[in-house]
Amino acid sequence: MTKTAFVSGATAGIGKATVVALVKAGWRCVATGRRKERLDALVAELGADKVHPCVFDVRDGETMDAAIAALPAEFAGIDLLVNNAGLAQGLAPAQEADLDDWQTMIDTNVSAMVRLTRKLLPGLIERKGAIVTIGSVAGSYIYPGGNVYAGSKAFANHFTLALRADLHGTGVRVTCIEPGMVETEFTMVRTGSQQASDDLYRGADPMTAEDIADTVLWIAELPPHLNINRIELMPVTQDFAGFRVARDKD
């Protein structure tokens, strides 16, 4: 029987790569995002029988609920939720940060994820499905300017573990994938600068969206008695050592 995945934030990066990987492995996918033309391109590439596009901003709860309610029958039974939609805005220290940037990150990375998860939980329990959330190493290893982004990813990481506890006995598998440096549109969105993105990844040999998508697929297709609670990935070139000392100046 063909299984169906619901992938948020599927217009680029990890979300798009996840849809491609799942479909090539025989899954159907509900692909969501704000950019209709990109979702349409996914449908054209992979087939309307394999990908159903849902165009909405995850922060718009009413539109999201309506899109889910209107899913065609063949896409309505969700076996896998991939909570991928998320973003970072700004790199300023907390004392200089834009409150609107903070609110956007909270609305997208926390509130929308929680609402979507709650919306799909009854069906996932009924089908003994799986939830895979794309967290981040930023939720564990803090860096200057990370402030609310890091906080939102700490929430994603721990909310996923809390779901695992609450869903004990239901047969639903729950995993948080916590990637480090992945070369996607992430930095360009965050900074508004293609140059800043190029500078960050140059010479770093970062992970790719496909690397993370392959990890999602591996987790999704594990035997039903196995659960990966959390998995942290970094490129070999990146590590988590970052202690600093501010010293008095003579």
| Active-site annotation, residues | 149
d(CA 139, CA 32): 24
Q: What is the dihedral of CA 135, 138, 141, 147, to 10 degrees?
A: -130
Per DSSP, 225 falls in state: T
Buried b (16+ CB within 10 A) or exposed e, 111-136: ebbeebbebbbebbeebebbbbbbbb
Widest distance between CA atoms in the chain: 72
The amino acid sitting at 14 is I
Determine contact, residues 82/134, Cβ cutoff 8 Å: yes
The amino acid sitting at 229 is N
3-class DSSP state for residue 172? coil
Determine contact, residues 129/81, Cβ cutoff 8 Å: yes
CA distances from 129 to 2, 142, 201, 238 (A): 13, 32, 36, 33
d(CA 78, CA 68): 10
Instruction: Kindly report the backbone phi and psi dihedral angles of residue 167, in degrees, each rounded to the nearest multiple of 5, phi listed first.
Output: -90, 10
